[in-house]
Amino acid sequence: MAAAFTSACEGSDVGLVEFYIEQGADVNLASHEPPSVPLVAALKSAYKGWDIVEILIDHGAKFDDPDILLWAIFRGNEEWIRRFIDFGAPLSRRACEATMAEPLDPEIFRLLYSTPDGAKNLADPNMQHLMMWQATKRGRLNFLKMFREEFGWDYSSPENYQMLVNYAKAKPDVLAYLEQDRPVAV
């Protein structure tokens, strides 16, 4: 029943999901085909609506799957991102990487990284490098400013600076901002 229930969640079939729950479906049981917990399956198709997500939460869905925040970020629903953080959903490395791929509000980004998982990821120099690169590539000056001014990230080493400048060439405002920290050796 787990696979059929998870498929119903992903298919956004409210009636079928409610039927399975009435029949005793476990809202937290992962299926192998498709490989997912019902809440993640519902989030994958949440662009059709959030009804299934609400139903699963109302019936005790847990928030321990590392892809829960990832899919909320992909769906761009800031209300749900906030709710999942409040519920204690973990912030996986993949979800961290998605924060730069999706057009999030900087306030949501700050909220994500105020969690213990977020703080751990922010302390990782490789993650900092990736996020600076993605923000530069996407022309997100507001994020570059936040990284430097609020988080104290230093991207003035010759290697970092040159890499970022290469991606900022078509973005004059980003390039001008980076020029403020131009290393002497470049």
Q: Quick check: 34 pLDDT over 60?
A: no
Measuring CA to CA, which residue among 108, 143, 139 is closest to residue 128? Answer: 143
Q: Tens digit of pLDDT for each residue in 68-121?
A: 888 888 887 888 888 888 888 888 888 888 877 777 788 888 888 888 888 888
Query: What end-to-end distance do the CA atoms of the chain give, in Å?
Result: 62
1-62 CATH choice from 2.40.70.10, 3.30.70.3340, 1.25.40.20, 3.30.505.10: 1.25.40.20
Phi then psi for 36, rounded to 5 degrees?
Answer: -170, 160
Chain mean pLDDT for the chain: 85
In sequence order, which residues have a C-beta less than 8 Å from that of residue 161 and are 6 or more positions away?
A: 155, 178, 181, 182, 183, 186
This prediction has a pTM of 0.74
Domain ranges in the chain? 1-62
Q: Is the pLDDT of residue 180 over 70?
A: yes
